[in-house]
Amino acid sequence: MAALPNELEALTKAFSGHGIHEQALVSILGKWQPEERKSFRKGSPHFFVEDERNFERWDEHHVRLLKHEFVRFKNAVVLWTMHPWERDARLAKEALKKGPQYSYGILIEISCTRSAEELLGARRAYHSLFDHSLEEDVAHHINGSERKLLVALVSAYRYEGSKVNNDAAKSEAKTLFNAIKDANKRKPIDDEEVIRVLTTRSKPHLQALYKHYKEISGKNIDEDLNADLRLKETVQCICTPQKYFSQVLNTSLKRDVDKNTKKALTRVIVTRADTDMKEIKEEYNKLYGVSLSQKIEDTANGNYKDFLLTLIARGG
């Protein structure tokens, strides 16, 4: 007996996207007889390949992808229940293991969107968990121009008060404008004053600088930094974090992205659910014309989807 078309469609959907629709697997696969399972294999060339010895076998690449999808719910639950310091320390360690191109953005995100005490706590947890300092491992794993920026960011302990020296903010906006304008002579990321300002000044100060920069340039500073992704991410995480997180979420929700990019969906929702998820949802809707809840509903599956929707519903 061949599998019914609607069951094949439901099963294909259960195996596709972010996470796995566990209930569909139980209700459909559990009752199928050998002939129905055979028709599924024959009718699913994106999952199975025809072996030269005349049987259908799982495509190895797809099995590896499914492994990541099956553990997505578990990983979200484990991250959610961790102490925030441990969570950030483990996220940083994983990022460094994955290699520079993966680690830069996550290290910037952790350094620039946490409070001074939260970042200090993550560094303490990193000591306890890995018997190294975070600064030490960042300096060891990252080379080139980005090293100075990233070591300074993870080492930062920014002033958290509301006072801003407006004259200094204006002056430093001009400093950054000149550094970016002269990028053909020297990259802004190699400019010590640029690094000093972005890694030591308070967030209110840098947000004031952000406004003054636009008055000088006519553009936002992150728009002028399109040629330097790491400085751009730093500015966005400090000055427009809800926009930054919305963009990360939207990229992670695309179906054709790699497994590391998909992981950002879990990371952002778990780390921001207690902080600024309401503002992120509003910004996401403004940028993409669809609610974040609806996008997750359309893209994710099963227990993983339900858990994410529960987290983003917190706080309205």
As annotated, the binding site for Ca(2+) includes 15, 17, 19, 69, 255
Residues annotated within a binding site: 15, 17, 19, 69, 255
DSSP 22-56: HHHIIIIITT--HHHHHHHHHT-TTTEEE-TTS-E
Per-residue DSSP letter, 58: E
Q: % helix / strand / coil in the chain, to the nearest 5?
A: 70, 5, 25
CA distances (Å), 64 to each of 19, 97, 186, 232, 273, in order?
Answer: 13, 19, 44, 34, 29
CA distances (Å), 282 to each of 50, 171, 246, in order?
Answer: 48, 33, 9
Give the C-alpha separation, 63 to 75, whole Å. 18
Retrieve residue 175's tokens.
């400093």
Closest CA to 115 of 163, 86, 162, 158: 158
Place of tokens 């500015």: 235
Q: How many CA atoms lie within 13 A of 215 on its CB side?
A: 11
Give the C-alpha separation, 237 to 286, whole Å. 18
Are 203 and 238 spatial neighbours (Cβ–Cβ below 8 Å)? yes
Are 259 and 272 spatial neighbours (Cβ–Cβ below 8 Å)? no
Q: How many CA atoms lie within 13 A of 45 on its CB side?
A: 1
Closest CA to 95 of 150, 51, 160, 52: 150
